[in-house]
Structure 1
Amino acid sequence: MLERLLASYVPNRSAPPGECTRHLPYYKTLKIFAAPKESRAVLMKEYLADWYEASRREVYYESHKRGEIFTGYWSWESAAITFILDIDDSSYRDMMFYPIDLVDYARSVNAPRSFVEPYSESELREKSGEICPLGGVWESLDIPPQRKRFEKGDVMQATEAAYGITVWRYLGAS
């Protein structure tokens, strides 16, 4: 399950395994990932309905009965899967263990659902010595800052670096 979640954000990962290391309750999430979009909400609702009982081998199971600090039971993975796969959660929003506030927050800030680029162009950074991914003007985050034009494919070198490694920030194509 975690490999499937990571695959949305980390490019070039190998194919995820066909089973879960921790069988219950997580193996049922694999069906959700594999299902067509229109079937995912039903499968997630079933997953949430079984989640607590399927968690009986987990250390948190019945922790509310042990006199420990108890903050509630939450199926964090159901929120992550719902958000990443963009599942319509209207049929299970009120289910116990579903952290609806987490999904609502991620949707409200328009968090990325998948990997596109590690940074937007305005946040693109590269270490000195790396290959330039995007031609244009770059500024070192060194003191004093340096500005330099690199073309895509150039090795990004710093001169007069005050620190051991210089990080370059992309300023734009001009």
Structure 2
Amino acid sequence: MLERLLAPYVSGSIPLPTECTRHLPYFKTLKIFDAESQDRSMLMREYLEEWYRASRREPYYDSHKRDDAFTGYWSWEAAAITYLLDIDDSSYRNAKFYPVDLVDFARSIQAPRFSEAKPEKQELRVKSGQECPKSGTWETLDIPLQQRKFAAGEIMQAENASYGITVWRYIGD
């Protein structure tokens, strides 16, 4: 589900999964993404009607019975999908677990939807120990900060890295 939510905002095409790592309740959202636009409202309404019962294997299920810090149950994904796919939510605006205020807020500020998403230029990053894909100056995302020039094909290594795996970021020629 998350890959489908983020795919339009990431440059390049990625194969969209046909399963969800957390099966219930989230796999039912895949039908909403794949449906014709006129059918999405009905599918989301059905999703919200089953959401809490389908969440019975999630850690938050029944947390109101065991925790003083309970803040409520919300199907955040329903709000995100509704907004990003521009689904008419009039048939489920009053659904028990639907955060309608969040959707209304997103609509009021006109946050970008899928059709408007323009992926930002992605940084070129490579893990230490891999071949350099592009000649130029690279910088570690580590402490202490290191800068080095690497030639394409050269194995990228860091010295005195504080973290287990060093990631190099391309900063230019």
- Asked whether the two chains share a fold, i.e. TM above 0.5, the reply is yes
The answer (yes or no) to whether the contact 2:40–2:87 under 8 Å persists in 1 is yes
| TM superposition shift of 1:16 | 1.3
Find the counterpart in structure 2 of residue 16 from structure 1.
Answer: 16
SS in 2 for 1:105: helix
Find the counterpart in structure 1 of residue 126 from structure 2.
Answer: none
SS in 2 for 1:3: helix
Find the counterpart in structure 2 of residue 110 from structure 1.
Answer: 110
Give the Cα–Cα distance (whole angstroms) in 2 for the partners of residues 110 and 98 of structure 1.
19
Q: 80-89 vs 13-22, which deviates more?
A: 13-22
The answer (yes or no) to whether the contact 1:8–1:84 under 8 Å persists in 2 is no
Find the counterpart in structure 2 of residue 99 from structure 1.
Answer: 99
CA-to-aligned-CA distance 1:66-100 (integer Å, 9 cap, x gap): 03311000000000000110000000000000000
What is the correspondence of 1:80-91 to structure 2 with a 5 Å cutoff? 80-91=80-91
Give 5+ residue unaligned stretches, structure 2.
122-135, 138-169
CA-to-aligned-CA distance 1:143-164 (integer Å, 9 cap, x gap): xxxxxxxxxxxxxxxxxxxxxx
| TM superposition shift of 1:117 | 4.8
AA aligned opposite 2:44: M
Find the counterpart in structure 1 of residue 150 from structure 2.
Answer: none
AA aligned opposite 1:24: L
The answer (yes or no) to whether the contact 1:51–1:75 under 8 Å persists in 2 is yes
Find the counterpart in structure 2 of residue 36 from structure 1.
Answer: 36
SS in 2 for 1:101: helix
The answer (yes or no) to whether the contact 2:10–2:119 under 8 Å persists in 1 is no
Give the count of matched residue pairs: 124
CA-to-aligned-CA distance 1:101-147 (integer Å, 9 cap, x gap): 1100001000001222539xxxxxxxxx89xxxxxxxxxxxxxxxxx
Q: TM-score, normalised by structure 2?
A: 0.67
Give the Cα–Cα distance (whole angstroms) in 2 for the partners of residues 35 and 67 of structure 1.
38
Identity of aligned residues (%): 64
CA-to-aligned-CA distance 1:27-65 (integer Å, 9 cap, x gap): 000000000000000000000000000000000000000
The answer (yes or no) to whether the contact 1:29–1:47 under 8 Å persists in 2 is yes
| TM superposition shift of 1:8 | 2.2
AA aligned opposite 2:79: A
Find the counterpart in structure 2 of residue 141 from structure 1.
Answer: none
Find the counterpart in structure 1 of residue 140 from structure 2.
Answer: none
Give the Cα–Cα distance (whole angstroms) in 1 for the partners of residues 48 and 12 of structure 2.
31
Q: TM-score, normalised by structure 1?
A: 0.67
Give the Cα–Cα distance (whole angstroms) in 1 for the partners of residues 8 and 55 of structure 2.
25
Could you list the runs of 4 or more consecutive aligned residues of structure 1 that deviate by over 6 angstroms after TM superposition?
none
Find the counterpart in structure 1 of residue 73 from structure 2.
Answer: 73
Give 5+ residue unaligned stretches, structure 1.
120-128, 131-164, 167-174
